[in-house]
A = this chain, B = another copy of it.
Amino acid sequence: MGIRGGIDLGGTKIQAVVVGDGADVLGSSRMPTPTSGGPPDVAAAMAAAMRDAAEEAGAGTGDLEGVGVGSPGVVADEDGTVAAARNLPDWEAAFPLRDALASHLDTKVRLGNDVQVATDAEFELGAGRDYSSILGVFWGTGVGGGIVLDGKPWLGRSAAGEIGHVVVRMGGRRCPCGRRGCMEAYAGRLALERRARELLEKGQSTKLFEIMEERGRDRLTSGVWARALKAEDAVAEKLIHQAVKALGAGIASSENLLDVEAVVIGGGMGIRLGEPYVKKIRDAMTPHLFVESNPPVVHVATLGDLGGAIGASLLVKR
């Protein structure tokens, strides 16, 4: 029968899916990530989401061939642990997530890096399926990257793909990671929000925070940015313009190094702003592409919000 589970573990939400052989989604469930407690509480919430998704698919978790997890932090699949997942509560030391989940779910569990599994999903089933080498760029709170070369994920020594921390301006803006001039310092949602607050405090007029409050949010979500752009808010337009320029330079740099066939842009911001902004990123890449006559194709990710969880389910097949 061959149904598999996939869990995308994020800083704000846990997304679980049950997927059939053809990668059709048979059940899904989403819940907020616990913001207090520790790794065992997060594992319990993940198991609950997985049970709900399985129930929607008319199955128990024990019927699943296995469950794959896309996780932030330092993921060691062979050890079954995740460490340094700094968006998650009290999760610095290595926690045995594989065994904790397996005991909840009564099936085997595989762990992978969140961005890499989302890239794998786009490569196998989404916008990258017609190519043999792709670069996935996940433009969200930060900017993550995943690499597939000749059909296989390239993980380096486990930390490859950190495109958000490619330097686009030496000595430039401070990045949430603490370094200077990273692409993410100009493009990540968190960095954009910090910069917008600075400009507000300096007296620049912006509707960003009013829109945030109207929408009942406590941070500048991708939806808030999209609305502010639609309303032609000058601060939003300026900051997103700078983000696009940085993404163009950083992605073009990566292409000059890797020469992949296709770039797939996903993540909360990438998916929300969609093709019109992906076109702007493409245009911003052009002046920096060394082989301008043979640019990579640049697509929006097609699996949307479920891409990470679907990609995680692919880990079970490996």
A93 in the interface, Cβ–Cβ < 8 Å?
Answer: no
Report the Cα distance A159→B290, complex, angstroms: 9
Interface string of A159-178 (1 = CB under 8 A from B): 11111011111101000010
Query: Which one, A94-102, A148-156, A310-318, is touching chain B?
Result: A148-156
Alpha-carbon separation in the docked complex, A154 to B160 (Å): 15
Number of residues from A at the complex interface, CB < 8 A: 44
The distance from the CB of A171 to the nearest CB of chain B, in whole angstroms, is 8
Cβ contacts under 8 Å, A256 to chain B: 162-163, 165-166
Tell me the bound Cα distance from A157 to B293 in angstroms.
Answer: 12
Please determine whether B168 and A257 come into contact, CB atoms closer than 8 angstroms.
no
Q: Please report the C-alpha to C-alpha distance between residue A294 and residue B160 in the assembled complex, in whole angstroms.
A: 12
Q: Are B287 and A180 in contact (CB under 8 A)?
A: yes
With A149-B154, A156-B260, A157-B294 already in contact, the answer to whether A252 and B167 are too (CB < 8 A) is yes
Number of copies: 2
Q: Which one of A145, A158, A180, A287 has the greatest number of beta carbons of chain B within 10 Å?
A: A287
Q: Does A179 contact B (CB under 8 A)?
A: yes
What's the Cα separation between A258 and B157 when bound, in Å? 9
Residue pair A257, B160 in contact (C-beta under 8 Å): yes
Which A248-301 residues have a C-beta within 8 angstroms of B? Answer: 249-250, 252-254, 256-261, 287-288, 290-291, 294
Would B245 and A166 count as touching, CB distance under 8 A? Answer: no
Known contacts A179-B287, A180-B287, A181-B249: A294-B170 contact under CB 8 Å:
no
Q: Do B170 and A168 have beta carbons less than 8 Å apart?
A: yes
CB proximity of A239 to chain B, nearest CB, Å: 15
Q: How far is the CA of A40 from the CA of B135 in the complex (A)?
A: 40
* Chain A residues within CB distance 8 Å of chain B: 133, 145, 147, 149, 154-163, 165-170, 172, 177, 179-182, 245-246, 249-250, 252-254, 256-261, 287-288, 290-291, 294
